[in-house]
Structure 1
Amino acid sequence: MKKLSLVDKGFLVSETKDTPMHVAGISLYTLPEGANEQEFLHSLAETLRTPETLLSPFGDRLRTGRMGLAGATHWEPDPELDMDYHVRHSALPKPGRYRELFNLVSRLHSTLLDRSRPLWEMHLIEGLQDRQFAVYTKTHHAAVDGARSIHISRSMLSSNPNHIMTESPLSLQSWERYKSALTMGKPPEYGHGDLRNVSDMLKSSFDSSSNILRAVKGFAGAWSGEGELSLPHLKVPRSSLNTPINSSRRFVAQSWPFARIRAMGKALGGTFNDAVLAMCAGALRQYLQTHAELPDDSLKAMVPVSLRQESDLESGNAVATISADLATNIADPAERFRTIRASVQAGKQYFSEMTPSEVEMVSLIMQAPALLLMPMGLISQLPPYNVTISNVPGIRETMYWNGAKLTGSYPLSIVTDGMAMNITLVTNADKVDFGIIACRRSVPQVQRLIDYMELALSELEEAAGLVSAKPEPKAPKKRRAPAKPKVKAEQKAEIKPKAKLKTKAKPKTKAKPKTKAKPKTNPTHAKK
């Protein structure tokens, strides 16, 4: 049996009907050439349902003592495991667009997982256009974090389109083979971002008491207005993003080229993660402006940070958080980018001399007010952040599942009272796949955020000098305007003969003067 950590139990304690605490992903695949969709998906489902021994937590259920979650809580093997319950086969209504897929995923993500069973579900979804199918998988956050879920996904896939997996990708045997490949020097290619790699700079040689004291001093300094450090509940404005929520969700997704976002961040003197935050900040600013509710103070984002060591593949959660100032009160995109970068650097510096356990402890201390406010129903009055923006390192090569090409990998995370939107992104081959989940009631028309993100990216590219200035798109109109006089001037000689043709072609116009000949009689009528 494996004992749950305080962080793991925190996701169980804070879960309600309106705030499910599971993370999920929707993966898009293209069928192999010549494959029959129903037969192919049936084969995948059968393989998934027949493991010899399941990888944890897929075969484990919760076990608590007399004190419930307040006491010791463990994962234990489920003696009544029903794989038909966990692996499901669904079909989309016609015409099978992404709209129908996202509507289905929104409903699936709104419901709680059954705590009497292992806390996960997988849905194989057929009926998409262009010979695509989708796989929606959700797992309770008490069991996995984003980094481990990527490892689990990677163990199911192969870079060889001809590779066929004959055993369940959820099996312990498949997982052990994947770990062996890592130890033999064949790790998957993951993106390496500064925000998720804070653990590389954390040093375990420092005395905990001195580091905690330094953290408390930094905490006090931030509240007094010193430096760039942003903290939970500190100058966090209220908006529609920070209202009580219900269980209904709305999910939208979009992809952008990885190289495009990275080039923008580099040109502005920052990292890929800075670029992502600036892109989201610009979109949120436009969204709130459109709804006439942009606050005077800047929005603050909770940015999860992985503390997982590269060799650690088994931990459920190894996460801390940075509070990032999104500078949504700044109109200039370049200045907004610089403010975001300074805020993130201050947050990283704050944790830089702590061990992973110290970072986790300080993060829990920072979240303590929220844990008190949430059961009192006051979290939307004093929100710790406005939105969550999470960058999960993904797979940086083209992958296949039994010959089906992975074409998209869109994450879905958690929204809570007071934080009604969550933006999570995953790097996938040469793309960045964004998944946006929000409370349908609190954040209306969330699908427009996709357009605003493209607009924000274009503005940042222009500020960085990567694209032409805005006046250029108006050039075609300027060319068409003077074109007419030039044509008339050049073809004056041709106009005369054409005019004769026109006069011949218009006998009716000559007939009109005959009718107008009557005005000769008009004067006589006038004399009379």
Structure 2
Amino acid sequence: MDAAGEEMNAFETVMWRIESDPALRTPAMACLELDAVPDPGRLAAVHEAAVAVVPRLGQRVVEPALGLGVPRWTTDPAMDLRFHLRRHQLPARGGWPELMEGLSQFYMSPLDRARSPWEALLVEGLPRGRALYALKMHHAVTDGLGVMQHLARILAPERQDDVPGGPRPAHLQTPPMSPYEALVAQARADLGRVTGEVGRLGSAGLRSLAAPFSTAGAVSRYVSSLGRVLAPPAAENSALLAERGLTLRLAAVDVPFDRLRAAAKAAGGSVNDAFLAALLGGYRLFHERSGAPVPEAVPTAMPISLRRSDDPEGGNRIASARFAGPMAETDVARRVERIRAVVSEVREEPAVDVIGLFSPLLGRMPGALAAILAGPMTKGNDLHASNVPGLQGDHYLAGARVERFYGYGPLGGGASLITLVSHGSTACIGVGLDTAAFADGDLYLQCLVDGFTEVLDLAPGTATPTLRG
């Protein structure tokens, strides 16, 4: 890392600053169900090593003086694992309902912005001697795929192995940066950018003169795409899900992955298409059983990874696609087909990375103003779905085997965010619900299970989805 402190990219800056609106807080959490309770000493040693091998875990955010510029990552002089790593014991006879209630509270608790923005919680007392490990971090640290990259370096391939320790790495020996130093570094960086931009624009101008018609055509296509991407999805928000609050309910569902994949193939779609079809089917059932009108489609959002194989580990490299999710479609195979068509269309939009386009501008604004301008892009989503490829093979945390892996992301003021993480033979579904939008959360969760059952019935087999809590 540069001794001057690494600058947040524009997208991360926006996520860090828009939290002036509490509805736009951006925590992300990975939950690992373990087959045993890890040894306390080994678990602490793993986190000591994790801070060494994943630089972000040993850094905090410093804002430049007077708020002029973007935040930077700098050494956290107050790094103390006793604050970041905590333990909790479930009450006697406690199970998944009590676990999810506690996790919901842990997830909703704001991170300390004066420290490195992450916390870990080990919950003991699950049936059969099991435990659950939750790693919560600010989304400015990394996206879903980045979390997987970090965990791949922290988890061990064998029960007896742990992440090797070593000398204190250079990034933890760098003196912390002050707000004044951050401002000076910002001025230098901006000067360098201006110089580079002048040269880039000159080169681009020469290319345009050499091929004016092709350049004009590309600009025209991009502007047209930008109009489509910025326009709200052609769908009405559900009146049943109209309320919004600050209380979240978390839940988990296990779906047989092989059967989900077979169902997707039977309908001519991908696993992601079948996943979205199940979610929208659950939404339809929830409206029907609540006696509410069923909209033809609901505003739906889905992150799209922009990460390349040669990109550095961690960080945020995502775009967000918004579209009309065909909720009222009762023919499951047809629903998968329609989803495949609309998702393929939004993925191919030249302006799909509209976040990347406007983040540099939003990132230089005061947080409250950025929240006002960016908030409508996420608050209008009735459904936000994410599909993150899981880790391959067996993995262990301080001697305990990872049995399940659930992911939870920020709702961004929307009604829900539901995440699929593939882990072995299971599609682990992490469910986050705004309790104001889903007043009857128990009914919705049963509808969600039934929505997956609808999709699984496209393929032969008897394996069924299971609600964990």
TM category, shorter: 0.7 to 0.9
**Residue correspondence of structure 1 range 63-212 to structure 2 within 5 A:** 63-68=62-67, 71-167=69-165, 211-212=218-219
Counterpart residue number, 1:217: 224
Query: How far 1:214 moved relative to its partner?
Result: 1.0
Counterpart residue number, 2:34: 29
- The amino acid across from 2:433 in the alignment is A
Counterpart residue number, 1:20: 25
Instruction: Say what the alpha-carbon RMSD is for the aligned residues.
Output: 3.4
Q: How many residues align?
A: 412
Over 6 Å off, 4+ runs: 205-209, 356-359, 362-368
In 2 relative to 1, CA 230–451 (structure 1 residues): closer, same or farther, beyond 3 Å? Answer: farther
Deviations 1:262-281 (A, max 9, x none): 11111101111111111111
In 2 relative to 1, CA 157–448 (structure 1 residues): closer, same or farther, beyond 3 Å? Answer: farther
Q: TM-score, normalised by structure 1?
A: 0.70
Deviations 1:145-173 (A, max 9, x none): 111101111112233334344539xx869
Equivalent of 2:397 in 398, 401, 419: 401
Cα distance between partner residues in 2 of 1:309 and 1:465: 33
Identity within the alignment, %:
22
Counterpart residue number, 1:421: 416
Tell me the secondary structure at the aligned position of residue 14 of structure 1.
Answer: helix
**Residue correspondence of structure 1 range 44-443 to structure 2 within 5 A:** 44-49=43-48, 53=52, 55-68=54-67, 71-167=69-165, 211-220=218-227, 222=228, 232-246=232-246, 248-351=247-350, 360-361=356-357, 375=372, 379=376, 384-417=380-413, 419-443=414-438
Cα distance between partner residues in 1 of 2:313 and 2:266: 38
In 2 relative to 1, CA 81–163 (structure 1 residues): closer, same or farther, beyond 3 Å? Answer: closer
Deviations 1:156-208 (A, max 9, x none): 2233334344539xx869xxxxxxxxxxxxxxxxxxxxxxxxxxxxxxx9988
Tell me the secondary structure at the aligned position of residue 108 of structure 2.
Answer: coil
- The amino acid across from 1:10 in the alignment is V
Q: Report if aligned partners of 1:60, 1:76 keep a CA contact under 8 Å in 2.
A: yes
In 2 relative to 1, CA 47–362 (structure 1 residues): closer, same or farther, beyond 3 Å? Answer: closer
- The amino acid across from 2:91 in the alignment is P
Deviations 1:45-104 (A, max 9, x none): 244246784622111111111332x52321110122222111112211121301111011
- The amino acid across from 1:460 in the alignment is V
Cα distance between partner residues in 2 of 1:364 and 1:238: 33
Q: Report if aligned partners of 2:438, 2:444 keep a CA contact under 8 Å in 1.
A: no
Cα distance between partner residues in 2 of 1:300 and 1:276: 16
Q: Report if aligned partners of 1:124, 1:135 keep a CA contact under 8 Å in 2.
A: yes
- The amino acid across from 1:103 in the alignment is E
Counterpart residue number, 2:6: 2
- The amino acid across from 2:30 in the alignment is G
Tell me the secondary structure at the aligned position of residue 254 of structure 1.
Answer: strand
Structure number with greater Rg is 1
Cα distance between partner residues in 1 of 2:452 and 2:409: 23
Query: How far 1:467 moved relative to its partner?
Result: 6.4
Cα distance between partner residues in 2 of 1:127 and 1:289: 38
Cα distance between partner residues in 1 of 2:265 and 2:51: 48
Q: Report if aligned partners of 1:233, 1:383 keep a CA contact under 8 Å in 2.
A: no
Structure 2 unaligned blocks of 5 or more: 171-206, 209-213, 463-469
Q: TM-score, normalised by structure 2?
A: 0.78
Deviations 1:431-450 (A, max 9, x none): 11110111223322334444
Q: Report if aligned partners of 2:62, 2:74 keep a CA contact under 8 Å in 1.
A: yes
In 2 relative to 1, CA 237–47 (structure 1 residues): closer, same or farther, beyond 3 Å? Answer: closer
Cα distance between partner residues in 2 of 1:113 and 1:267: 44
- The amino acid across from 2:134 in the alignment is Y
In 2 relative to 1, CA 420–360 (structure 1 residues): closer, same or farther, beyond 3 Å? Answer: same
Cα distance between partner residues in 2 of 1:364 and 1:428: 36
Cα distance between partner residues in 2 of 1:250 and 1:449: 12
Query: How far 1:114 moved relative to its partner?
Result: 0.9
Tell me the secondary structure at the aligned position of residue 301 of structure 1.
Answer: strand
Cα distance between partner residues in 2 of 1:41 and 1:27: 16
Deviations 1:206-231 (A, max 9, x none): 988754531322354x5xxxxxx895
In 2 relative to 1, CA 239–52 (structure 1 residues): closer, same or farther, beyond 3 Å? Answer: closer
- The amino acid across from 1:218 in the alignment is S
Query: How far 1:141 moved relative to its partner?
Result: 0.6
Cα distance between partner residues in 1 of 2:295 and 2:51: 58
RCO greater where, 1 or 2, for CA within 8 Å and sep 6 or more?
2
In 2 relative to 1, CA 254–208 (structure 1 residues): closer, same or farther, beyond 3 Å? Answer: farther
Equivalent of 1:451 in 446, 454, 457: 446
In 2 relative to 1, CA 18–372 (structure 1 residues): closer, same or farther, beyond 3 Å? Answer: closer
In 2 relative to 1, CA 364–460 (structure 1 residues): closer, same or farther, beyond 3 Å? Answer: farther
